[in-house]
A and B are shown apart, each in its own frame.
Chain A
Amino acid sequence: MAEQQLKTGPYQHWRIERDDAGIARLYIDQAGSGTNVLSSDVLRELGAVLDELTARPPAGLILLSNKASGFIAGADVREIASITDTKAALALVQLGHATFDRIEALSFSTVAAIKGFCLGGGLELALALRYRVAVDDPGTRLGLPEVLLGIHPGFGGTMRSIRLIGAPAAMDLMLSGRTVDARAAERLGLVDRAVPERHFSAAALAYATRPSAPHRPGVLARLATMKPLRSLVGAYLRREVRKRAPAAHYPAPYALIDLFERYGGDERRMLGEEAQSIARLATGSTARNLVRVFFLQERLKSLGRRETGAKPRVHVIGAGVMGGDIAAWCALRGLQVTLQDRAPKYIAPALRRANDLYSKRIRDRRLRRAALDRLVPDPQGLGIPKADVVIEAIIENIEAKQDLYRAVEPRLKPEALLATNTSSIPLETLAECLKRPERLVGLHFFNPVAKMQLVEIISTPSTDRAVQSQAAGFARRIDRLPLPVRSAPGFLVNRILLPYLMEAITMLSEDVPATLIDQAATDFGMPMGPIELADTVGLDVCLSVGGILGRHFGSPVAARLEELVKQGHLGRKSGQGFYKYRKGKVKRPAVPKDHGPSDDITDRLILRMVNESVACLREGVVEDADLVDAGMIFGSGFAPFRGGPMHYLKERGRDQVAERLSDLAARFGSTYRPDAGFANISLE
């Protein structure tokens, strides 16, 4: 390196180094940020960098990041969020297009050297270069996840990804928003080489100095872009997407397919139309709400400081669906876990589920085995004295839990966290039996653990502040989103969901068909209708939680629910609940054709959730309206493109909603009476 001449240009975010061989290394190092994002500032400066490179062309160019966090994380989401009119959006997009076009036209060999995150706009930039080399390590992820923010690639990525790896692979990547590791990217053709770090600079240099023909997709993949096939591919993709995301709620994937189908044969045209399409999408309500969800996620992340010290040892008591899956998740995230239950036979099924999860999540068989080795079945509870975090997830029974705590507490390390996954028992009650009640905290996970990102961090007034932040830090350690919640019956998510479930059951008894009720909810954007959700959670669980909350809030549990549980119909797990199930698949009865209008269903379901959200906020269960929304979206899957129940309330108008509730109350009973909080809660 000593013989290299360093030349640093007058740039804020970029740096050029030229070596004796005439190779230029262009570093992106965004000022004032730990992560590189392609803001308009960065893009504008890249223009100046290109001026310099064109004026004095190097023999070859290697583009790399100077940040430990990775290559480039994408476009600047904050900037996107701030643009409200289509014209301004178009201007930003066109700036990107113009810059990337210039890169593509450079006369010398250009290589993107990718390590760490290379997402969205970052990958689009890499695609504008002639070659891509990536470090093959677990930190390297490539992808075009724009669709998750309600948009699609907008800096030429639609056309360039299709040109590079063919429409089938590229459309899949863009429509799913999934990210791939370096080796998978190499197989796709997205990068020319995936190499271990030790060969990273040699590989990048090889492409910069000895250019070969750029990668092209296979013949079949190229055919898919030709005219007659293109419409077929488009129709097929549209059908597939429709299964996951209705066009009315998620326009981006459909816009992407249209773009491909109409202009896929003409590269220049496609670029132009891409810019128009993205400018429209970015200012639409879905994208704006999804971007807001992205920031809610960032906010939750910031609520737990990720500990970087020694890895905590985890001991989970109760190997049922929740306890077993929590243990498996912790081991997947690299922690040493002991899993306890009354006898080995209760632990064994949890290990099978762990194996199923790891088979999907960990491709390398050695890493998979290591994860399995970290998950230690422990019927005798040997792990308790060594554990830093003990998570209790046994049956929802106060005596059983208290007996367990009395046995466990004397064996705990003094600084160990004692956490409960209870969903319905107040922590104050559980803490009564403890010598040190201040160390008890709730870590309330959601089912399925591997999918639901939220963990409610429940604390009582006597919970130690340090314990609370330790618990939030632990949630971040295992890559979950902590939401601090005050100990109150049902906490946040279940409490808001319950009126929605109960209302659905009440409607059933009014002879509204279940299929219609569920459809109203899914049409609104809920991931699953309330009837099917009740069946999936288990009717016995609903009854028990409903009973506990019902006693507290003075709302009766629907008789129909009690009946079914008495008959042993517990939902999906027993093969029958409100619906019948065959091989785990729901059998939905058809709606009778002569059934009357059902306009009220959606409001009856959704506004009860909104009303309960207002109550939670009034009682200070969580700190503000945004946290209610974040909890419902990440804990229950509440329609993300609606931005959460409080956001929905705000958009629809507080007074209008209160009025509609009063109207419903007049017709369907006092449960609809607008909560007192409507008068004074803050929606900001």
Chain B
Amino acid sequence: MTHSKAQLGGRPVFVVDGARTPFLKARGRPGPFTASDLAVNAARPLLAGQPFQATDLDEVILGCIMPGPDEANIARVVALRLGCGNATPAWTVQRNCGSGMQALDSAVRDIALGQADLVLAGGTEAMSHAPVLFGTAMVAWLGQWTSAKGFASRMQALGKFRPAMLTPVIGLLRGLTDPIVGLSMGQTAEVLAHRFGITREAMDAYAVESHRRLAAAQNEGRLAEVEGMYDWQGKVYEKDEGVRPDSSVEQLAKLSPVFDRPYGKVTAGNSAQVTDGAACLIVASEEAVQAHGLKVMGRIVDSEWAGLDPSQMGLGPVHAVAPLLRRHGLDIDQIAYWEINEAFAAQVLACLVALADEGYCRTELGLSEALGEIPRERLNVDGGGVSLGHPVGTSGARIVLHLLHVLEAHDGQFGVAALCIGGGQGGAMLLERT
């Protein structure tokens, strides 16, 4: 990068409202909702409460990494199921864990440029529905089998079948493994823990705190954006299922590492949970806000996307936050509240260390001094991925939405939502309450 990027130009962009589903723990089999079901459940109550009609939306943009086989361009599927009408275009974006934030960013840009006034944007992911695939050998054999005509060639094809071909490819595992460096996401967290000397105890303590904060937020009703979600068997889901309010450091200490056995430190207990969920926001121009008499939660000021070594992808937030703050002449202290997605406790802790470390900021970010410390009481105040779960396509939208609620509750002005992105990227979004 030879020169720093310009600030986002054009028209101001506002977030009007948002809603999300409760995050449902994946329980080793497909959950009750597909990715489009989740997004429909998040967006229906959201749209029901708006003074405008679904057909007034200019477009629908959703982030999603693993839509089901019946959900090609899932944003369009969702838009039509929501009754947005044939004339409302919709598109789906994919930037791994940053997909939900990318959807917002795309909406922001369309609005800033004057190409849209009212956009439904967000993310959805049904990780429990991740596909299980046939391997290449099996697919090749199937191809031969179906094209075989006549008894002889059929028998010939049959002779080539090997039971090993039936070994399934677990889509979720492949998706969470870096295709370039070959490390699983958990292993990249191990790399950061090693580099920054983050102990197992620190990770577990962080995880316990995440659960405590989410439980408190649930009890004190600070998750207003969560809408009940109904299956069709008479069951209603009203709360995030991942929370374990009674978890303790002692309990977590008993868990074995899952990614680097046997010496690793990253366990299921201090990692984000595999979860199903969706979050949707309504993003609008000033004209739309006025035309429909909308109440505004805040403004999306700008965003930043950064790239770094895939094996250290967990530091992505650091690389995205630094230029974003500099561009707007803001110090860490001026940011009232932070949401950094908790892919792994180790990864969030590494980000905090790196931001406060002069050496890292000088050599890796080209700054003259450390950016500073983010106080823990201003970071992820109502829990995060470790307790809530991290439906990959959704989290980026969830943290932006929740941060706006936090800013409102505490009367803060600026907020930054950031996340690390598998493949070695970071994304950050600067919000301002208006």
In the complex, how many angstroms separate the beta carbon of A55 from the nearest chain B beta carbon?
Answer: 52
A374 — which chain B residues lie within 8 A by C-beta? 83
Number of A residues with CB within 8 Å of any CB on chain B: 25
Q: Quick check: B81 and A344 within 8 Å, CB to CB?
A: no
Interface residues as binary, B220-234 with A (CB distance below 8 Å gives 1, 0 otherwise)? 000000001011111
Give the residue name and chain of the B residue nearest to A345 (CB): B236
B83 — which chain A residues lie within 8 A by C-beta? 336, 373-374
B81 — which chain A residues lie within 8 A by C-beta? 369-370, 373
Q: Quick check: A347 and B230 within 8 Å, CB to CB?
A: yes
- Bound CA–CA A502/B225 (angstroms): 52
The residue among A336, A338, A372, A376 with the most chain B CB atoms within 10 A of its own CB is A376
In the complex, how many angstroms separate the beta carbon of B17 from the nearest chain A beta carbon?
Answer: 11
Q: Quick check: B234 and A382 within 8 Å, CB to CB?
A: no
Interface residues as binary, B225-252 with A (CB distance below 8 Å gives 1, 0 otherwise)? 0001011111110100000000000000
Q: Quick check: B51 and A385 within 8 Å, CB to CB?
A: yes
Give the residue name and chain of the B residue nearest to A372 (CB): B232
B401 — which chain A residues lie within 8 A by C-beta? none
B234 — which chain A residues lie within 8 A by C-beta? 348-349, 351-352
Q: Quick check: A344 and B48 within 8 Å, CB to CB?
A: no
Q: Which residues of A (355-397) have their CB < 8 Å from a CB of B?
A: 355, 369-370, 372-374, 376-380, 382-383, 385-386
**B interface majority secondary structure:** loop
Q: Of B44, B228, B232, which one neighbours A379 at CB under 8 angstroms? A: B228
Interface residues as binary, B96-135 with A (CB distance below 8 Å gives 1, 0 otherwise)? 0000000000000000000000000000000000000000
In the complex, how many angstroms separate the beta carbon of B47 from the nearest chain A beta carbon?
Answer: 9
Q: Of B48, B231, B232, B238, which one neighbours A376 at CB under 8 angstroms? A: B48
Residue B40 at the chain A interface, CB threshold 8 Å: yes
Q: Quick check: B49 and A380 within 8 Å, CB to CB?
A: yes
In the complex, how many angstroms separate the beta carbon of B214 from the nearest chain A beta carbon?
Answer: 20
B40 — which chain A residues lie within 8 A by C-beta? 373
Residue B45 at the chain A interface, CB threshold 8 Å: yes
Q: Quick check: A376 and B45 within 8 Å, CB to CB?
A: yes
- Bound CA–CA A367/B234 (angstroms): 20
Q: Quick check: B48 and A383 within 8 Å, CB to CB?
A: yes
Given A348-B236, A370-B81, do A376 and B44 touch, yes or no (CB 8 Å)?
yes
- Bound CA–CA A386/B48 (angstroms): 8
Residue A354 at the chain B interface, CB threshold 8 Å: yes
B82 — which chain A residues lie within 8 A by C-beta? 373
The residue among A349, A373, A380 with the most chain B CB atoms within 10 A of its own CB is A373
Q: Quick check: A338 and B48 within 8 Å, CB to CB?
A: yes
Q: Which residues of A (312-333) have their CB < 8 Å from a CB of B?
A: none
Q: Of A348, A373, A382, which one neighbours B235 at CB under 8 angstroms? A: A348
- Bound CA–CA A344/B231 (angstroms): 12
A380 — which chain B residues lie within 8 A by C-beta? 45, 49
A383 — which chain B residues lie within 8 A by C-beta? 48
Q: Quick check: B233 and A344 within 8 Å, CB to CB?
A: no
In the complex, how many angstroms separate the beta carbon of B53 from the nearest chain A beta carbon?
Answer: 8
Q: Quick check: A347 and B236 within 8 Å, CB to CB?
A: yes
A352 — which chain B residues lie within 8 A by C-beta? 232-234
In the complex, how many angstroms separate the beta carbon of B72 from the nearest chain A beta carbon?
Answer: 14
In the complex, how many angstroms separate the beta carbon of B244 from the nearest chain A beta carbon?
Answer: 23
- Bound CA–CA A349/B236 (angstroms): 9
A349 — which chain B residues lie within 8 A by C-beta? 234
Q: Quick check: B230 and A351 within 8 Å, CB to CB?
A: yes
Give the residue name and chain of the A residue nearest to B238 (CB): A344
- Bound CA–CA A379/B233 (angstroms): 18
Q: Of B49, B228, B232, which one neighbours A344 at CB under 8 angstroms? A: B228
- Bound CA–CA A376/B43 (angstroms): 11
A354 — which chain B residues lie within 8 A by C-beta? 232
- Bound CA–CA A101/B382 (angstroms): 81
Given A338-B48, A382-B49, A385-B51, do A351 and B232 touch, yes or no (CB 8 Å)?
yes
- Bound CA–CA A369/B232 (angstroms): 11
B235 — which chain A residues lie within 8 A by C-beta? 348
B45 — which chain A residues lie within 8 A by C-beta? 376-378, 380, 382
Q: Of A347, A372, A378, which one neighbours B48 at CB under 8 angstroms? A: A378
Q: Which residues of B (240-288) have their CB < 8 Å from a CB of A?
A: none
Q: Which residues of B (343-392) have their CB < 8 Å from a CB of A?
A: none
In the complex, how many angstroms separate the beta carbon of B236 from the nearest chain A beta carbon?
Answer: 4
The residue among B81, B228, B232 with the most chain A CB atoms within 10 A of its own CB is B232
Q: Quick check: A377 and B230 within 8 Å, CB to CB?
A: yes
Q: Of B49, B51, B230, which one neighbours A348 at CB under 8 angstroms? A: B230
Give the residue name and chain of the B residue nearest to A385 (CB): B51
- Bound CA–CA A386/B49 (angstroms): 9
Given A377-B228, A379-B228, A385-B51, do A344 and B44 touch, yes or no (CB 8 Å)?
no
A370 — which chain B residues lie within 8 A by C-beta? 81
B236 — which chain A residues lie within 8 A by C-beta? 344-345, 347-348, 377
Give the residue name and chain of the B residue nearest to A348 (CB): B236
Q: Which residues of B (31-70) have their CB < 8 Å from a CB of A?
A: 40, 44-45, 48-49, 51, 53
A385 — which chain B residues lie within 8 A by C-beta? 51
A372 — which chain B residues lie within 8 A by C-beta? 232
In the complex, how many angstroms separate the beta carbon of B328 from the nearest chain A beta carbon?
Answer: 36
Give the residue name and chain of the A residue nearest to B46 (CB): A382
- Bound CA–CA A347/B227 (angstroms): 14
- Bound CA–CA A383/B48 (angstroms): 6
- Bound CA–CA A348/B230 (angstroms): 6
- B interface, CB within 8 angstroms of A: 40, 44-45, 48-49, 51, 53, 81-83, 228, 230-236, 238
Can you offer 8 A-B residue contacts whose CB atoms are under 8 A? A344-B238, A348-B234, A351-B230, A352-B232, A369-B81, A373-B82, A377-B45, A382-B45
A348-B236, A370-B81 given. 9 additional CB < 8 A pairs?
A: A336-B83, A344-B228, A345-B236, A351-B231, A354-B232, A355-B232, A373-B81, A378-B45, A382-B45
Question: Closest 9 A-B residue pairs measured CB to CB?
Answer: A352-B234, A355-B232, A344-B228, A382-B49, A382-B48, A348-B236, A344-B236, A373-B81, A349-B234
